[in-house]
Amino acid sequence: AVPLVVAVSTSMSASHGLLVRDRAAFERARKLDAVVFDKTGTLTEGRFGVADIVLLADLDEAAALRLAAALESQSEHPIAAGIVRAAKERGLAWPPADAFRNLTGRGAQATVEGRDVKVVSPGYLREHGIAARDARLDALAAAGKTTVFLVVDGSAVAAFGLADVVRAESKAAVARLKAMGMQCMMLTGDSRAVAQTVAAQLGLDDYFAEVLPEQKAEKIREVKARGLTVAMVGDGVNDAPALVESDLGVAIGAGTDVAIEAADIVLVSNDPRDVAAILGLSRKTYAKMI
Ligand code: ADP
Ligand code: MG
**Which DSSP state fits 226?**
T
Nearest CA to ligand 1 atom 6: 105
pLDDT of residue 255: 66
AA identity, residue 216:
K
57 CB-near residues (< 8 Å, 6+ apart): 155, 156, 157, 158
Ordered per-residue pLDDT tens for the chain, 290 residues: 344 444 455 555 445 577 888 888 888 888 999 999 999 989 999 999 999 999 999 999 999 999 999 999 999 899 999 999 999 999 999 999 999 999 989 999 999 999 999 999 999 999 999 999 899 999 998 898 999 999 999 999 999 999 999 999 999 999 999 999 999 999 999 999 999 999 999 999 999 999 998 899 999 999 999 999 999 999 877 889 999 999 999 998 666 788 888 899 988 887 889 899 888 888 888 876 65
Does ligand 1 lie within 6 Å of residue 106's CB atom? yes
Indicate the SS3 state at residue 48: coil
- State in Å: Cα 210 to ligand 1 middle: 9
ipTM of this predicted structure: 0.96
CATH T-level topology, domain 2-45+166-289? Rossmann fold (3.40.50)
Q: Which fold has domain 49-163?
A: Calcium-transporting ATPase, cytoplasmic domain N (3.40.1110)
Q: Which residue's CA lies nearest to atom 10 of ligand 1?
A: 189
**Ligand 1 lined by 213 (C-beta under 6 Å):** yes
40 CB within 6 A, ligand 1 = yes
The residues spanned by each domain of the chain are 2-45+166-289, 49-163
Alpha carbons within 13 A on the beta-carbon side of 192: 2
Predicted pLDDT at 57? 96
- Order of all β-strands in the sheet with 183-187: 18-20, 265-267, 248-252, 230-234, 34-38, 183-187, 206-208
| 38 is a catalytic site residue | yes
Residue of 38, 106, 258 with the most ligand 1 atoms within 8 Å of its CB, for mutation: 106
Please report the pLDDT score of residue 3 as a whole number.
45
Q: Is the shortest distance between the CB of 41 and ligand 1 below 6 Å?
A: no
